[in-house]
């Protein structure tokens, strides 16, 4: 299972302020995941030589109980269990890694309806509709996020733009490898997605309502090779303009941003 951690910036769609990493240093994020510290690490003073077999058995039982207790919160349970609550596995074929034609790879995403049922269902629905085929990963900010989810066909994209989802509550942190919908505010999720890529995760996004609905279970090394040379999108940077992607699709991107990595296919495993 991908171990998730926490990152920086506000992930928003066209029409809202672009999400950008804060300019000031941020404190170490709190990792919302199960840990084996505490009751499983007894001090030397507690390890007495003169312990009866009965005492050993009793302590083992206490330790086992304590270990189980560390996985009792909803967040800990979701992050600790490999299969419980898991949804579907989806394999993405990726082209243009590092902006090089013919450089390919694969990533596997697992949806987590136990984390965010509405988001997971929408992602699976889009996969069934082959929405991701030839989608460009148009916003890649190393150590923060990789964003995609505007269809290369403007007519297809227009259909989904009117199908906004109501929000899922945030049950797990925005750790590295988690998959999340970008938004333009409350209840505005449609098709745009980002993958958290910061090693420490993007926990500051949790309080902003960004609810992970899945995770990369294989291929984060591939995600790290998504082409990032264009930087932040317009108007803040020199990267693709989301409004023009919506209006012109891949015609615009292939002409002006040909090095972008993209998905050639996405299939259920």
Given this model, what pLDDT does residue 13 score? 53
What CA–CA distances, in Å, run from 42 to 81, 136, 184? 25, 51, 49
Q: Looking at residue 7, what DSSP letter applies?
A: -
Contact indicator for 240, 231 with CB cutoff of 8 Å? no
Residue 37 makes CB contacts below 8 A (sequence gap 6+) with none
Q: What is the pLDDT of residues 7-32, one digit of tens each?
A: 333 455 543 333 444 433 322 222 22
pTM attached to this predicted model: 0.73
**Which of 43-47, 96-100, 197-201, 234-238 has the lowest average pLDDT?**
43-47
Given this model, what pLDDT does residue 27 score? 25
Q: What is the pLDDT of residues 209-232, one digit of tens each?
A: 999 999 999 999 999 999 999 999
Given this model, what pLDDT does residue 25 score? 31
In this model, does residue 82 exceed pLDDT 90?
no
**Which of 50-59, 112-121, 150-159 has the lowest average pLDDT?**
50-59
Buried residues in 228-239 as b, exposed as e (16+ CB within 10 A):
bebebbeeeeeb
pLDDT band for position 67 (cuts 50, 70, 90): very low
Average pLDDT for 139-144 = 98
Contact indicator for 36, 66 with CB cutoff of 8 Å? no
Residue 83: count of CB within 10 angstroms of its CB:
7
In this model, does residue 46 exceed pLDDT 50?
no
- Angle, vertex CA 98, rays to CA 90 and CA 25, nearest 5: 90
In this model, does residue 169 exceed pLDDT 80?
yes
Strand partners, 109: 90, 216
246 or 50: whose pLDDT is higher?
246
- Angle, vertex CA 268, rays to CA 262 and CA 269, nearest 5: 115
Contact indicator for 25, 197 with CB cutoff of 8 Å? no
Q: What is the C-alpha separation between 247 and 227, in angstroms, rounded? A: 22
Look at residue 147 and give its three-state secondary structure.
strand
In this model, does residue 45 exceed pLDDT 90?
no
> Exposed, middle or buried by CB within 10 Å (0-12, 13-18, 19+), for 109?
buried
Given this model, what pLDDT does residue 137 score? 98
Q: What are the backbone dihedrals phi and psi of residue 134, each rounded to the nearest 5 degrees, phi first?
A: 70, 15
To the nearest whole percent, how much of the chain has pLDDT over 70? 69
């Amino acid at each position: 299972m991908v171990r998730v951690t926490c990152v920086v910036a506000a992930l928003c769609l066209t029409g809202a302020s672009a999400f950008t990493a804060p300019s000031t240093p941020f404190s170490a994020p709190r990792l919302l995941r199960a840990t084996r510290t505490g009751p499983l690490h007894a001090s030397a003073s507690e390890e007495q030589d003169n312990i009866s077999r009965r005492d050993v058995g009793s302590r083992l039982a206490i330790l086992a109980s304590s270990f189980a207790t560390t996985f009792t919160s909803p967040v800990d349970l979701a992050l600790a269990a490999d299969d419980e609550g898991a949804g579907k596995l989806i394999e993405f074929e990726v082209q243009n890694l590092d902006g090089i034609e013919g450089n390919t790879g694969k990533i596997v995403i697992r949806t987590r309806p136990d984390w965010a049922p509405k988001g997971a269902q929408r992602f699976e629905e889009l996969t069934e509709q082959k929405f991701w085929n030839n989608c460009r990963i148009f916003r890649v900010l190393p150590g923060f996020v990789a964003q995609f989810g505007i269809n290369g066909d403007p007519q297809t994209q227009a259909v989904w733009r009117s199908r906004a989802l109501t929000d899922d509550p945030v049950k797990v942190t925005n750790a590295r490898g988690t998959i999340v919908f970008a938004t333009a505010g409350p209840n505005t999720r449609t098709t745009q997605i980002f993958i958290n890529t910061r090693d420490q995760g993007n926990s500051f996004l949790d309080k902003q309502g960004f609810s992970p609905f899945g995770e990369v279970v294989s291929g984060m090394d591939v995600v790290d090779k998504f082409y990032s040379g264009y930087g932040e999108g317009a108007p803040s940077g020199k990267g693709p303009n989301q409004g023009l992607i919506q209006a012109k699709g891949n015609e615009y991107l292939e002409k002006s941003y040909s090095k972008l990595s993209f998905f050639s296919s996405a299939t259920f495993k």
